[in-house]
Each structure stands twice: as C-alpha cells, then as structure tokens.
Amino acid sequence: MKRVVFSLLLILITGLPVQADFLAGFDAYKRGDFTAAYLEWEPLASAGDAVAQFNIGALYENGRGVPKDYAQAYRWYRQAAEQDYAFAIKAVRRFERDHPTVVRRAKVDKRQQAELQRLREERLRPKKKSEPTSRRRKPRTRNRQKETGGGLDIPVPAGWNPAEPGQLGKAELAATDGLPNFAPTRTLYLPDGKTGENWSELIVVDRWRQRGLPAPDRLYEAFIRQVIAGCEGGYHGDPKHSRLDKMLTVESFYACSKHKGQDYGSFTMMKIIGGAKDLFLVRRKWRGSSFAEADLQTISSRFDSWKAWFNGVGPRQKAGQGQQQKRITGFGFFVTRQGHIVTTNHLVKGCRLLRFSGAQARLVASDPIRNLALFQVRKNPIQVAAFRSDDGVGKGDTIVVAGYPADGDKDVDLSVSTGIVNVLSGPGSDNRMIEVTAPIQPGLGGAPLLDLKGNVVGVILTKAEALMMAGLTAADAGGIPETVDFAINAQVVKAFLDSQGVAYPKAEAVKILTPAVAGDLARAFSVSIDCRK
C-alpha cells in the first residue's frame, strides 16, 4: 500500500498531469478492490506510464487482484526502472538480492527474445547466392525436423501451459525412471499460476521414440508395479485395451491413499498408446489430502469429466486427411464490420495454429484479467453482434444459447437452448460473470449469449474457465450444480472493447424474438475456432 501511495504522491509533487484512470485505480486500491485497480492501471502501464508499471508490478508481487507472480512483477518493475523511476530501481535491486532465480530467468528470456528478433531480421534480409548445401547434410536436417513433429494430439485444457519437468519433485515423475532401457522425452502442463510447489492438477506426457519398444500392456504392467510400490495403500483399475489408428492403447487409473514419505494422496487417469516406433504414456493427475480406501469411490467420481478429455488424446492426424483434420474447439463472434472477433483468452492462449472458420486472424489485444481476446480477420462479415445499450441483463431475464457440437462444423444444424439469468455474479461472487441455467453443450466456450431481442449479454464460459477466473480450484467444482453454467458479463466485454477503441453496435431493439430466430441471428455472426496447441 505504501508503494502505491508514494507513487501517487511523487506525481503530485513533480507536477506531472494525473490521469483520471490512474486516480480511479488509486481509489479502487484504497477500498481494497485490487482487480479494479489493475484494470485501470494496466492500459496506462502498457502505454509506457512508469508509475502505472510500478504499481502493476506491486500487485503481481503481492498477489492482489492478480495471481502472485514474481516473474511478472520483476518484468513491470524493470520496465519502470528503465525510465529512471526511482521506486522501480529500488524494487529491481531488491529482486536482485532476494529473488536471484527470477532475475536470472528474466535475463535468459530477454536474451532469447533478442536472439529471436535477430533471426527474424536475418530471415527478412535478401539472401546472398551461395554454394548449395551438400547432399549429405540436407537430408539429416530434414529428418531431424520430421522426428520432432507429429506424434500425439493432447487437448490441453484452457488456461494450462507447458512447464519444465524439473519444477516437480523426483518422486512425482520417477515411476518411469526405474523401467529398464527407457529414457523418455517428457512434457509437463500445469494450470495458470501453478508451480512445482503449489499444483493440485497436472498433465504429464512421456514419449519414447525407438525401435524394439515393449507393447503398451507390458509397459502398463511394469509402470503400475513401480507406482503401487511407492504408495501406502495403492489401487488401480482393470486396464481397458483397444486399437486407435493402427496403434494399441491401454487405459486405466490408479490411486495412492498416501504416498510413502509424503503427507498427501493422489488420483491419476492414464492412457498408453504404442506403435512400431512410438510409445506414449499420458497421465492426468490430481493431488490432495490423503484418504482412506473407503473414500476411493468418492474421490474417483469427482474426475468423471476427465473421461471426455481422454477421448481427445490420440495419434495426430496427418495433413490431407480431409474432414478428419477439421476440429472445432470453441467459438467467437464478429463485433465490427471491419472483421473484429471477440472470444475468451483462455481458449486461444498458447495456440500454435489458430483458424477462425478457416481464416487466419491477427491478434489485436488480449486481457487475461477479463479473460477476453480480440482478433481481426481480413474480411467484412455479413452480420455483426449488437450489445444492449442499457445497464445489461437482469436477474430472471430469458437468455438464448446458440452453437454447434464440439466436433461439428458450420454445416450441421444449430443447437439452440434457452434458460434464465440466475445470479448476476459467478463463482466466488465474481461480478465479471453471470450465472445462467441454460444447458450449454461442451465446446461452446467463447460463443455469444443472447437475450430475446437478439443482443449479446455475455460470452459463454466453460466451468473450468469460470473457476479459473474466480481463482478457485477444480476441487471447488463439486459444489456447482450440473444445471448451472457461466458467462462473462457483456458489461465487461464492452469495457474491454472500449479500452481498445473498438466501436461496436449498440441496439435499442424492442421486438421480442423467438429462440429459433435469435439462434439464427447468432449463427450469422458466430465463427468457429480451430486451435492446435
């Protein structure tokens, strides 16, 4: 609090003009509304305001209004320090003394970014004619690139990001290390804000690429022996065998009431997929308090939703396989005639390949706090969404959900359902969201939520996204009824568009539409999103 007060006083003392947004953020900070303070200061910080940058750094350092993140805090402090802001310079020195690992990683990231920029510039320079690469070396490079690509499709949940396996203790990942003649390549995914110390869920993908690999069922037997040996009370399900695209698969689960030498238990679902040269072990794991054998049924029932996720894990389709290559992973919708599209930030974060109804798009802005992203495509839409010009949706108002099945496309029949606004807040009383009772199919994240006048009143969220926005864990989902879903309030969407200077349509529509007509309207301005991570 003192840092923010000092920052404001310094502006007043030096006579610099004080922006209204900064003062609004300061007032929000004083009353303890740190999220509102962040939303006021972040645009100023991104525009280069040193004081706002320092204050954003303080919010990240203390975990106020945003997840605690020392790396982000140091990044903002350093930007402010580069403008000779005295308080930021002191903060940078303090980080160099108290958090040397964070500073070291930031310097590495900075060098990597500089190297990437150099490579980009080098690629754009006119190439000089030179002697052709020898035939001997060319194929090697090509083969190496081919081996690192392909493999397995892992539908990483929204908001999860790759992490370094070294972040976790050896006990968590050592089960495959004891297998003879095996040295897997390991990829780890953790939810936003989670580290090797505070995780409650994770995804681990082990890959072996060599000849003479054991069959998946042999790997399963050896692996389960290693796992159960490390448990005080270990259980595993009967393995289920099948064949997927010429590769054998084994699916099962295992649980540890308590890990030996540790004070926690875990539940894990796993899938092993093996072919002639590739073998994959995919695990999705929960960690929590230790439990008794009698509680295993209750524990395992909490993770039924993972089954749908595991159905999406399989061999990556090769280009040219027609409709098998096309997938819809979510939705967005047009908000301007210039081709601007709004969707959720968690849905598109980390996509290595992104298409909007088959078209490429340019990222205009993203806001992790509001969980929104703005893109622009090079085409003029036939229809764009309109927002209510009043204060927004009210409790008890009828709403319409329109979209397509998660594995469908725009040629299939539109799915339309209705419900009401139940509560004007989301999980944890988060007023960025609204709670609705309309049945929402899986895969409709990012789709528009309409009223019966055809106006957008929200952006549909998955339950996982809603919990993430509210800063809650998956364990808290047990208290949310199946009939309840969530959406980002349209007022938040309008504030996001206003901050980017995007002029969106506002409607004074008074005609009441039928749900089917409102659904057809949504079809006209909605776009499907294909995200490959």
Tell me the backbone φ, ψ of residue 144, rounded to 5 degrees.
Answer: -65, -40
Answer whether 430's CB lies under 8 Å from 370's CB.
no
Question: Best-predicted range by mean pLDDT among 10-24, 110-124, 451-465?
Answer: 451-465
Angstrom distance (rounded) from CA 144 to CA 342: 38
Pull the structure tokens for residue 152.
Answer: 């397995």
The verdict on pTM exceeding 0.75 is: no
Q: Residue 404 — very low, low, confident or very high, per pLDDT cuts 50/70/90?
A: low
Angstrom distance (rounded) from CA 219 to CA 181: 12
Question: Best-predicted range by mean pLDDT among 7-11, 233-237, 432-436, 442-446?
Answer: 432-436
Pull the structure tokens for residue 483.
Answer: 């009939």
Q: Which domains does the chain have, with CATH numbers?
A: 2-100 (1.25.40.10), 149-315 (3.40.1000.10), 383-528 (2.40.10.10)
Indicate the residue type of 332.
G
Q: Residue 114 — very low, low, confident or very high, per pLDDT cuts 50/70/90?
A: low
Angstrom distance (rounded) from CA 454 to CA 513: 7
Angstrom distance (rounded) from CA 33 to CA 35: 6
Supply the pLDDT for residue 376: 93
- Enumerate helices (H) and strands (E) in the chain, giving the number of each: 16, 24
- pLDDT of 505 over the 80 cut: yes
For residue 367, which of 334, 399, 342 has the smallest C-alpha distance? 342
CA atoms in the 13 A half-sphere facing the CB of 92:
20
DSSP single-letter state for residue 512: P
Pull the structure tokens for residue 39.
Answer: 């939303």
- pLDDT of 413 over the 60 cut: no
- pLDDT of 373 over the 90 cut: yes
Lowest pLDDT segment from 9-18, 275-284, 325-334: 9-18
| Count of residues making up the chain | 533
Answer whether 223's CB lies under 8 Å from 175's CB.
yes
144-170 per-position pLDDT tens digit: 333 333 467 777 777 788 877 665 655
Q: Average pLDDT for residues 364-391, to the nearest whole number?
A: 88
Q: Residue 382 — very low, low, confident or very high, per pLDDT cuts 50/70/90?
A: confident
How far apart, in Å, are the Cα atoms of 65 and each of 87, 290, 368, 399?
A: 21, 31, 12, 30
Supply the pLDDT for residue 183: 66
Supply the pLDDT for residue 348: 87
Question: Best-predicted range by mean pLDDT among 182-186, 246-250, 496-500?
Answer: 496-500
- pLDDT of 19 over the 70 cut: no
60-84 per-position pLDDT tens digit: 999 888 888 898 899 899 889 988 8
Lowest pLDDT segment from 101-105, 311-315, 438-442: 438-442
What average pLDDT does the chain have? 77
Indicate the residue type of 385.
A
Supply the pLDDT for residue 204: 87
Q: Residue 496 — very low, low, confident or very high, per pLDDT cuts 50/70/90?
A: very high
Supply the pLDDT for residue 488: 93
Pull the structure tokens for residue 296.
Answer: 């295993």
Pull the structure tokens for residue 205.
Answer: 């993908």
Angstrom distance (rounded) from CA 60 to CA 44: 16
